[in-house]
A = this chain, B = another copy of it.
């Protein structure tokens, strides 16, 4: 556990996140199989859109946990650490919105 000895927001839900990521991995393998079986382009594109939505859900969950724990705790202590955590969170949100 790097960045700080501060327990990350998602740890209480770690198992759920790991299971969720495993499902996403399964979706990717499903898309690989569709292309390997030469299935219709539109059907492959439909699965990619579904995968993108699943990824957004995963990211939004992690972000919510991060805000509730890491950012709030740092904000309470204030000072440079609080400022840094907020800037980091905003940059992560911007990457998600623009990707």
Contacts and interface: CB of A to CB of B under 8 A. Distances in A.
Interface of A: 1-4, 8-11, 14, 17-18, 21-22, 24-25, 28-29, 31-32, 35-46, 48-49, 51-53, 55-56, 58-60, 62-68, 70-72, 75-76, 82, 86, 88-90, 92-99
Contact of A76 (B4, B29, B75, B98): B75
A62 B32 CA distance: 13
A70 B95 contact: no
Give chain A's interface secondary structure class. helix
A64 B90 contact: yes
Contacts of A32: 18, 21-22, 25
B35 A24 contact: no
Contacts of A99: 49, 52-53, 56, 98
Given A25-B29, A42-B92, 14 more contacts: A2-B40, A8-B41, A10-B35, A10-B41, A11-B38, A18-B36, A21-B28, A44-B62, A45-B62, A48-B62, A51-B55, A52-B55, A56-B97, A98-B98
